[in-house]
């Protein structure tokens, strides 16, 4: 039975927290954004497909598959960027590659290779290319029997072009492949390096978060609904954690009944956000 894997459902999406393994990397400047998604590794065997949804918006940007011919002497892995009639990709969705003597193949990029407007993207009827294949015992394609190689992609988000990568292991004889993680740059037309996933933390301001203490209670008020705060921690003057919890709603009162009188540090964190403030507790 054929199985369709969807990257949005298979992975840990980039909206939880840094510790969850999926990150949204942003900064206060709109031109410096990397969105990285770490998923539970998905292995695609013969007869199975995988829908790669780089921006996790519920629409598949690429279709990947491992198939064989009826005789069973040829198996291959391929990738399609333009099968929009069936809900996959679009005319601008392409993969870095080259045209070989017979078939177009995807280039197996190394960590740090540049992906951007100047790269050689394969364009044909379906923007389709092969990653690896084996025919009558002979192996073809740069991804054959490789680990931790990258596909470089160009894809459309609401009419603008973006660049990204996905990390793969590919085996032949027969062909199968494993998707490990992926990322893209959210700034239109901006280069990204294969494997790039640096997380830049957005430091929240007092205009977004209010925090104050009264007696032995710390009060937290989230004024910006998009601040992205998930976790609340309080540390004493020696850096020892004295309180930790998930944020509940936009207002939270933290009672430190057993804390000694003195200065404490409130720390609020999220997937890509941070806020710290020193507060005085009196018991």
CA dihedral sign, ordered 119, 122, 123, 128: negative
Read off the pLDDT of each residue in 21-50 and give the average, rounded to a whole number.
69
Cross-strand partners of 78 = 65, 130
For residue 29, the model assigns a pLDDT of 35
Question: Do 208 and 188 share a domain, yes or no?
Answer: no
Question: Do 165 and 226 share a domain, yes or no?
Answer: no
pLDDT band for 13, please (50, 70, 90 cuts).
very low
Mean pLDDT of the chain: 86
Give residue for tokens 């840990």.
12
Q: What is the DSSP string of 17-31?
A: -GGGT-EEE--SSTT
For residue 139 the two structure tokens come to 């192996």
For residue 88, the model assigns a pLDDT of 95
Question: Do 163 and 44 share a domain, yes or no?
Answer: yes
Question: Do 102 and 184 share a domain, yes or no?
Answer: yes
| Structure confidence by residue, pLDDT tens digits, 213-268 | 999 999 999 999 888 898 899 999 888 889 999 888 899 999 999 899 999 999 99
pLDDT band for 183, please (50, 70, 90 cuts).
very high
pTM over 0.95? The answer is: no
Instruction: Say which residues have a Cβ less than 8 Å from residue 156's Cβ, sequence separation at least 6.
Output: 90, 91, 92, 93, 162
Domain boundary among 164, 193, 222: 193
Question: Do 133 and 266 share a domain, yes or no?
Answer: no
pLDDT band for 272, please (50, 70, 90 cuts).
confident
Question: Do 142 and 111 share a domain, yes or no?
Answer: yes
Question: Do 48 and 83 share a domain, yes or no?
Answer: yes
% of the chain surpassing 90 pLDDT: 65
Distances (CA, A) of 94 to 57, 90, 127, 262: 18, 9, 6, 59
Q: In total, how many domains does the chain have?
A: 2
For residue 15, the model assigns a pLDDT of 28
Domain membership of residue 262 as a residue range: 202-281
Instruction: Say which residues have a Cβ less than 8 Å from residue 112's Cβ, sequence separation at least 6.
Output: 193, 194, 195
CA dihedral sign, ordered 51, 55, 58, 60: negative
């Amino acid at each position: 039975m054929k199985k369709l894997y969807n990257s949005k459902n298979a992975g840990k999406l980039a909206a939880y927290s840094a510790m969850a393994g999926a990150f949204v990397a942003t900064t206060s400047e709109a031109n410096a954004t990397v969105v990285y998604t770490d998923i539970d590794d998905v292995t695609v065997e013969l007869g199975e497909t995988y829908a790669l949804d780089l921006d996790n918006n519920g629409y598949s940007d690429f279709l990947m598959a491992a198939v064989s011919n009826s005789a069973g002497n040829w198996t291959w892995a391929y990738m399609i960027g333009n099968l929009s009639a069936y809900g996959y990709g679009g005319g601008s969705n392409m993969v870095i590659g080259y045209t070989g003597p017979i078939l177009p193949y995807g280039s197996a990029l190394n960590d740090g290779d540049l992906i951007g407007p100047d790269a050689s993207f394969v364009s044909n009827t379906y923007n389709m290319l092969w990653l690896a294949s084996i025919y009558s015992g002979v192996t073809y394609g740069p991804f054959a029997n490789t680990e931790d190689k990258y596909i470089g992609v160009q894809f459309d988000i609401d009419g603008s072009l973006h660049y990204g990568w996905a990390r793969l292991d590919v085996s032949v004889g027969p062909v199968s492949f494993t998707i490990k993680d992926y990322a893209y740059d959210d700034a239109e037309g901006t280069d990204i390096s294969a494997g790039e996933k640096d997380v830049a933390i957005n430091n929240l301001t007092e205009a977004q978060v209010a925090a104050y203490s009264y007696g032995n209670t710390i009060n937290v008020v989230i004024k910006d609904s998009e601040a992205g705060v998930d976790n609340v921690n309080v540390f004493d003057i020696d850096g020892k954690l004295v309180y930790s919890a998930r944020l509940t709603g936009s207002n939270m009162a933290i009672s430190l009944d057993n804390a000694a009188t003195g200065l404490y540090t409130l720390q609020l964190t999220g997937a890509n956000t941070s806020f710290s403030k020193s507060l005085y507790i009196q018991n």
